[in-house]
């Protein structure tokens, strides 16, 4: 008798606990935008600056999206999974639906808007995929259901169609931070950047690289990759490096924190502005 009376209460408690657990699990997605805003009036081609985000998870984004990150700006555009032009809202990346979160793209765009002519709009194209190595990019491997270099080339074609490609924002290296891969990283990255520029048909295209985080549980290996990145402008004068090793992680020793992603975008923006000021 007592069991029959308490059964509904027990069921309620069980459902409530499950709901709380699910909410906590999907905390990073609570504020994902529910509505895509399609671009109806495309800016003139000469007034649309295009930037391509490439690399692995710390460019693809693993931060928590806040409501403010989903407020679109009429001068910052991106694309959806169908390659249609939309007004940019975080997250910009969409390839890894169970993993993706806040990236640095929108904060990068807002940083630029403070310093460029009002007549200019931005198109930010996402191509980064978590866990991808530079070798996989070079080999055009299929990684997490994305054919890396082919997908990049498709986004280049979109960029050329609508505007002028101004730079690549690159963050990658964690997957190559192993003793067997580190000695080959500089040579492979040089080859990949050559391929990027060849596809874009601009041998002097700016490519902005970011340091790896300084929070790794294998600091020697990550530090070796960051050293290569920091030395890269000495062999490629059309590259610049963004300091990121001082930014905190989200607690997993792999990915930047939410606030770090915002700062990351600002720093990439300030670094690109060095090319035009």
Domain-embedded: residue 183:
yes
Q: How far is CA 87 from CA 40, 53, 140, in A?
A: 10, 16, 29
Instruction: Please give the Cα distance from 186 to 91 (Å, whole number).
Output: 30
* Domain residue limits at 226: 39-276
Q: Is residue 2 part of a domain?
A: no
Structurally, how many domains does the chain consist of?
1
Per residue in 216-246, pLDDT (tens digit) is 999 999 999 999 999 999 999 999 999 999 9
Q: What is the CATH number of the domain that holds 185?
A: 3.40.50.1110
15 is a domain residue: no
Q: Per the domain annotation, does 16 fall within a domain?
A: no
Tens place of pLDDT per residue across the chain (277 aa):
444 555 444 444 433 433 443 444 456 577 888 789 999 999 999 999 999 999 999 999 999 999 999 999 999 999 999 999 999 999 999 999 889 899 999 999 999 999 999 999 999 999 999 999 999 999 999 999 999 999 999 999 999 999 999 999 999 999 999 999 999 999 999 999 999 999 999 999 999 999 999 999 999 999 999 999 999 999 999 999 999 999 999 999 999 999 999 999 999 999 999 999 8
Q: What pTM was computed for the model? A: 0.90
Decide if 195 is inside a domain: yes
44 to each of 41, 121, 134, 143, 200, how far by Cα in Å?
9, 9, 35, 35, 20
């Amino acid at each position: 008798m007592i069991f029959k009376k308490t059964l509904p209460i027990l069921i309620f408690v069980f459902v409530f606990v499950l709901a709380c657990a699910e909410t906590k699990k999907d905390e990073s997605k609570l504020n994902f935008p529910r509505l895509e805003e399609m671009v109806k009036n495309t800016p003139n081609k000469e007034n649309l600056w295009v930037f391509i985000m490439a690399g692995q998870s710390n460019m693809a984004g693993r931060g928590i999206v806040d409501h403010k990150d989903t407020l679109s700006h009429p001068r910052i555009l991106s694309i959806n999974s169908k390659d249609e032009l939309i007004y940019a809202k975080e997250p910009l990346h969409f390839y890894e639906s169970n993993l993706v979160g806040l990236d640095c793209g929108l904060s990068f765009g807002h940083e630029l808007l403070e310093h460029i002519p009002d007549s200019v709009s931005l198109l930010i194209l996402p191509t980064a995929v978590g866990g991808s190595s530079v070798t996989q990019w070079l080999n055009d491997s299929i990684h997490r259901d994305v054919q890396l270099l082919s997908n990049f080339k498709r986004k280049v074609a979109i960029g050329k169609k609508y505007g002028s490609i101004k730079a690549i924002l690159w963050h990658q290296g964690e997957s190559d931070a192993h003793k067997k891969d580190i000695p080959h990283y500089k040579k492979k990255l040089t080859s990949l950047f050559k391929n990027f520029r060849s596809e874009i048909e601009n041998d002097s295209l700016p490519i902005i690289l970011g340091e790896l985080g300084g929070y790794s549980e294998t600091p020697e290996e990550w530090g070796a990759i960051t050293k290569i990145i920091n030395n890269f402008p000495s062999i490629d004068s059309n590259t610049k490096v963004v300091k990121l090793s001082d930014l905190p992680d989200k607690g997993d020793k792999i990915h930047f924190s939410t606030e770090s992603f915002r700062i990351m975008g600002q720093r990439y923006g300030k670094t690109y502005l060095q090319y035009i000021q």
